[in-house]
Structure 1
Amino acid sequence: MDNFDYIIIGAGSAGCVLANRISSNPKNKVLLLEAGGKDTNPWIHIPGGYFKTMHNPETDWCFNTEEEPFCDNRKMTYPRGKTLGGSSSINGMLYIRGQSNDYNYWRQLGNVGWSWDDVLPYFKKSEDFQFGKNEFHGSGGPLKVEKIRSTFKVLDLFLEAAEEFGYKKTDDFNNGDNEGMGYFPLTVKNGFRCSTAVGYLNPIKSRSNLKIITKAHIKNIEFENKIAKKVNFWTGDKLNTVEANSEIILSAGTIGSPHILQASGLGPAKLLKDNGVEVLMENKNIGQNLTDHLMLRPVYKIKNLETLNDIYYSFTKKIFTGLKFLLTRTGPLTVGASYLCGFVKSDPHLETPNLQFHVSPASTDLLGKSSLHKFPAFTPTITNVRPTSRGSIELKSSDTRIPPKIKMNYLSTDEDREIAGKSIKIVRKIVMESKAYKDYRPEELRPGINVTDNEQLAVEAGKYANTIFHPVSTCRMGKDENAVVSDQLKVHGIKNLRVIDASVMPYITSGNTNAPTIMIAEKGADMILQQ
């Protein structure tokens, strides 16, 4: 195929969905371009290999943020998937949709067709739920969603401890009301990762009307009279050009999509000119409104309870863990980032929870940069799911092979720092004051039991805090002056160009963002097919 109806830029969480759905019509000739490589690294597919794929230049872009003033002035590592499946191939496989109120708010902002009732059918369409179809879940979709296949007593005790303080248990976080505590549902199939490459792309990659090119690094998009026409991309040192008969769809993610738009002449005029890019159309909001969930990582040492730290430093236990995975597809190797989930309120007057737990039976100093501790400990990570801090993505060169400037501005508002302090106190109460943990003598390694002021707790927590990998909103959807795309995901002021990925979220969802990204792609594909 030498000409295409649709060119999809990025074969990540959204791009693989789009390739599957759009090419389902044999009349549509589709080109899928991915800057990373094929998903052949075996650690991608073993959930416990999560820690082998992040910070690995073969599978991760290994971005870094600018210095973060409220996080000890650190430049944080910022993982993004560099392979088929994108970040769904290196993420924690945690399947959380968010709250119904999230989507109803999108609709209240003027985005027609994006309320909870509007998007629920697309969540269900994408899903193959282990326990079958019901009012909130789908069966037979490309994305397998299963219950967790591993537990630790230290985690079961956390559920008991939380219940002592009125935090109820729940069996389903994905029915629109996610308040409660329980184990995460995972995008795992028979013990292996179910990325969008596995679920959506592998079954259809031999279609005659679909062409997939990996290691295709996008240079820019070309326009004629503000109509998107061509895509220029490198394969090695060779520069290639392809033309789209119908549409170009940008699905390069919250970092990649605004970066490519800016390199193509769309964005803040001064930024573009300063970097030698001719301005096609000024839109000061492209790359702005960057929102992410910051994980605060208090660590608790524990007595007489096994954690992953113990397994990591025991040759015998590691062998047993490997055999358990090989023979029964159970145990720690079937789990990625976290085990326990929880949604609670920092203040009782709030209508819906604003805090999320990701509890892991392991501990380390800086995620991805240091080994597990040599003593039993666990990390009840907690994050503010509705942060008010905002960052930005800005190109640093007209050459997109040079990573953009990523500025997160975590904890930069008084509200975010106040909630950070309150959230640490909630964790502390559950672990240190509960009857469930009393016999196991928990000890707060950090931030330290003597730190009690909310502002100081935010300072101490910021020293070890890290992204929880949920960047959104740099090409946000809407009709107001801060919007980049319409509720049809079309770039304002440009024809034949859509953005379909997490960057279009008008406001961050209350929880993990991979399931919502897949939903956005399902809905975006439907818009294109119905056109």
Structure 2
Amino acid sequence: MEAKLATVHDLADKCFDFVIIGGGTSGLCIANRLSEDAHVSVAVLESGRAHLDDPIIYHPTGWLQQAMNPEYDWAFPQSPQSTCDTSRFFWNRGKGLGGSSSMNLLLWTRPQREDMDAIEKLGNPGWNWENFYKYSKKSESFFVPERVSVGDYRDLYKSDTFGHEGPVKLSFTQTSSGIERPVQQSLKLLGVETIDDSMSGETVGTFKVASDLDPATGKRCSAATAYLLPVIDRPNLKVLTEAHVTKLVTETSKGEVVTTAVEFEHGGTLHKVLVGKEVILCAGTIQSPQILELSGIGDRNILEPLNIEVQKHLPSVGRNLQDHIVSTGLVLAMRDEVDLITSESMTDEKLTSRLRETEPDADPTSLCLSGCTFLPLQAFSDRAESTIAQLKAKVAREDEHYAPGLREQYELLSELLANPRYPAMELFVFPFDAVPPVELDGDVRSSITYSSQKPFPVLMPSILHPLSRGTIHICSSDPKRAPNIDPRYFEEEADMDVLLDAFKFTRKMSQMAPFQVIAGAELAPGPKAQTDEEIRAHIEKNLHTTWHSCGTCSMLPEDKGGVVDSKLKVYGTSNIRIVDLSILPLIVSVHTQTVAYGIAEMAADIIKEQNSANA
């Protein structure tokens, strides 16, 4: 397959109508859709390797081998945080064709309706739920299960809320860990219902989620599998891997920055590919702002000290960074008489043989994270009303200190969080022996250290709408040097308060009778952590990213902190667009894979329409 990819000579000093930077989730979707028109030429520059025949990519649990492996993972370091200990983890991102769609956890969740409507309310006409829903379904090919799911942990869905003719193959995994159903039963005792349709814009409740697994093969369906391989022979599409973009080559015309070429390194040599119409940045929340700044587009106070000539002073580049904050909340031992499937127990032949006897169609090696639970603030926090009231008071009191546009975001968030059908927390049930190191009995140990005798579940509460805003900026003019990632976790104290309440709810759920059937002792943080101060200390030592970051090239009016307009064009430029999660001005409530595809599908039609009008 790799022979079908371009060589450097196919691109160097050649002109293409559209040059796409990043062969990941959004980039390959855009490349597919734009190259549908045989009259336009499309080039894709991907910094990683192809991995098109790599079994580690295709295997449902292959991400366990990819994480922290520089062949597959960018593993960006994070700056030290004064409010918590994040020294032991990195921001993992897929490196190679397919990007993070080749190494994520395969969860396929559509955003809450209000998430997308909020984008339009912040000044982006057309970016609403109804339009997004249409384009999101365009990416999907959902396979209706051939058999009723075994046991009480069921494949619940409504077929018409999925797409059925798109490139990305979706199905329900037939292997569960055995942990998910006791969680659902325990949550029901706490008033949380199991929902039968999570894809139509209402996500509050608990449910089994679909995965981007091809049911015919049991393999991961990434952006490379779905969008690239079927069209890789198009003569007007050239995809070059191991091509690291160093900067955009620009000039100024009629007061606007115009990209004439993209400079990239391949095989240790610098090359340029010429831009006929547009360059489309699809490099993600971390690298899209990095490439803009390396090209002189950003805050002059960042660029000038690095001797980068300012082409466009756009101070919002790299700001408004948001991420779902998750804590390795509870680690529990398992009762000896309970058989559970986790990534570690897959090597137990006795256990896997017994599984195949009871569930002939199941394959232990196809284990996926499939249990999702999303809850509103009112469902897990006794102080929901006071939290919202404090947020409103803070907005009124500190307005003059906010960055441009942040007041509008906070005002909208306070309205959304007051809605008892709007999710503010996710509860992860993590059936993998691969969680980051955890503080256990005063000692930092990896999961392997204390789980080698028995599989165990990890219950991880996550807050979905943090108030804290971080930044991503270059710290060098060297394009190979990672940018400085500063999420500023807990800069707003309300974020810790919400995560504290989420932890308490998670512990309460773990003590319900249905879950106690499988769970034994609480290993972390352990019964000694009871006061708010003790729980906060545990959270601060065991905080992690959920890899859902967004916002660093926000789609907002320029005077409200925007980097791109509602047509995704970078302000002050004539032919630079951004199509990835960095454009989201507010983080969505769910896992972001579907959002990346949906944004790209919408963007493709926007680009086609505008270029047709300019023809």
Alignment TM-score > 0.5, same fold: yes
Match of 2:424 among 351, 354, 367: 354
Task: Note if 1:219 corresponds to 2:219.
Answer: no
Q: Is the 8 A contact 1:254 1:473 kept in 2?
A: yes
Counterpart of 2:602 in structure 1 is 523
- What pairs with 1:148-163 in structure 2 (closer than 5 Å)? 148-163=173-188
For 1:435 and 1:264, locate their aligned partners in 2 and report how far apart those are by CA, in whole Å.
58
Counterpart of 2:403 in structure 1 is none
The residue type equivalent to 1:355 in the other structure is M
Q: Go from structure 1 to structure 2 and tell me whether the alpha carbon gap of 1:33 and 1:310 turns closer, same or farther (over 3 Å shift).
A: closer
Task: Note if 1:461 corresponds to 2:536.
Answer: no
Counterpart of 1:410 in structure 2 is 489
1:31-77 superposed Cα distances (whole Å, 9 cap, x missing partner): 01100000233111001112011111111112111112233252521
For 2:89 and 2:362, locate their aligned partners in 1 and report how far apart those are by CA, in whole Å.
33
Shift of 1:441: 4.9
Structure 1: unaligned runs, 5 residues or longer? none
Q: Is the 8 A contact 2:204 2:373 kept in 1?
A: yes
Task: Note if 1:394 corresponds to 2:473.
Answer: yes
For 1:278 and 1:474, locate their aligned partners in 2 and report how far apart those are by CA, in whole Å.
21
RMSD between superposed Cα atoms in Å: 2.2
State, as a whole percentage, how many aligned pairs show the same letter: 32
For 1:361 and 1:311, locate their aligned partners in 2 and report how far apart those are by CA, in whole Å.
9
For 1:6 and 1:81, locate their aligned partners in 2 and report how far apart those are by CA, in whole Å.
23
Counterpart of 1:180 in structure 2 is 205
Structure 2: unaligned runs, 5 residues or longer? 1-9, 146-157, 385-417, 439-444, 611-615
Counterpart of 1:116 in structure 2 is 129
Q: How many residues get paired?
A: 526
Q: Go from structure 1 to structure 2 and tell me whether the alpha carbon gap of 1:370 and 1:417 turns closer, same or farther (over 3 Å shift).
A: same
Q: Is the 8 A contact 2:177 2:341 kept in 1?
A: no
The residue type equivalent to 2:240 in the other structure is I
Q: Is the 8 A contact 2:176 2:341 kept in 1?
A: no
Shift of 1:466: 1.2
Q: Go from structure 1 to structure 2 and tell me whether the alpha carbon gap of 1:525 and 1:313 turns closer, same or farther (over 3 Å shift).
A: closer
For 1:485 and 1:515, locate their aligned partners in 2 and report how far apart those are by CA, in whole Å.
21
Q: Is the 8 A contact 2:345 2:455 kept in 1?
A: no
Counterpart of 1:274 in structure 2 is 305
The residue type equivalent to 1:330 in the other structure is A
Q: Is the 8 A contact 2:89 2:436 kept in 1?
A: no
For 2:463 and 2:110, locate their aligned partners in 1 and report how far apart those are by CA, in whole Å.
16
Q: Is the 8 A contact 1:6 1:31 kept in 2?
A: yes
Shift of 1:79: 0.6
Match of 1:164 among 165, 169, 189: 189
Shift of 1:153: 2.5
SS at match of 2:161: coil
Q: Is the 8 A contact 1:67 1:75 kept in 2?
A: no
Q: Is the 8 A contact 1:420 1:457 kept in 2?
A: no
1:6-38 superposed Cα distances (whole Å, 9 cap, x missing partner): 000000010000000000000110001100000
- What pairs with 1:40-189 in structure 2 (closer than 5 Å)? 40-72=53-85, 74=87, 76-131=89-144, 135-189=160-214
Q: Which has the larger radius of gyration?
A: 2
Q: Go from structure 1 to structure 2 and tell me whether the alpha carbon gap of 1:423 and 1:152 turns closer, same or farther (over 3 Å shift).
A: same
Shift of 1:262: 0.4
SS at match of 1:77: coil
Q: Is the 8 A contact 1:340 1:359 kept in 2?
A: yes
Shift of 1:244: 1.1
Q: Go from structure 1 to structure 2 and tell me whether the alpha carbon gap of 1:490 and 1:99 turns closer, same or farther (over 3 Å shift).
A: same
Match of 1:9 among 7, 21, 31: 21
Task: Note if 1:383 corresponds to 2:414.
Answer: no
For 1:174 and 1:313, locate their aligned partners in 2 and report how far apart those are by CA, in whole Å.
31
Match of 2:290 among 259, 276, 294: 259
Greater CA deviation, 64-73 or 500-509?
A: 64-73
For 1:518 and 1:286, locate their aligned partners in 2 and report how far apart those are by CA, in whole Å.
23
Counterpart of 1:285 in structure 2 is 316
Greater CA deviation, 288-297 or 311-320?
A: 311-320
SS at match of 1:428: helix
SS at match of 1:474: coil
For 1:468 and 1:401, locate their aligned partners in 2 and report how far apart those are by CA, in whole Å.
24
Task: Note if 1:195 corresponds to 2:208.
Answer: no
Counterpart of 1:508 in structure 2 is 587
SS at match of 2:446: coil
Shift of 1:365: 5.8
Q: Go from structure 1 to structure 2 and tell me whether the alpha carbon gap of 1:313 and 1:530 turns closer, same or farther (over 3 Å shift).
A: closer
TM-score (norm: length of structure 2): 0.82
The residue type equivalent to 2:43 in the other structure is L
- What pairs with 1:305-384 in structure 2 (closer than 5 Å)? 305-308=338-341, 311-312=344-345, 314-317=347-350, 330-336=362-368, 338-348=369-379, 350-351=418-419, 352-363=422-433, 366=436, 370-372=446-448, 373-374=451-452, 375-384=454-463
Shift of 1:288: 0.9
Task: Note if 1:34 corresponds to 2:46.
Answer: yes
Counterpart of 1:448 in structure 2 is 526
Shift of 1:416: 0.6
For 2:219 and 2:548, locate their aligned partners in 1 and report how far apart those are by CA, in whole Å.
22
Match of 2:260 among 229, 232, 237: 229
Shift of 1:339: 2.5
Structure 1 runs of 4+ aligned residues shifted over 4 Å read 132-135, 308-311, 317-321
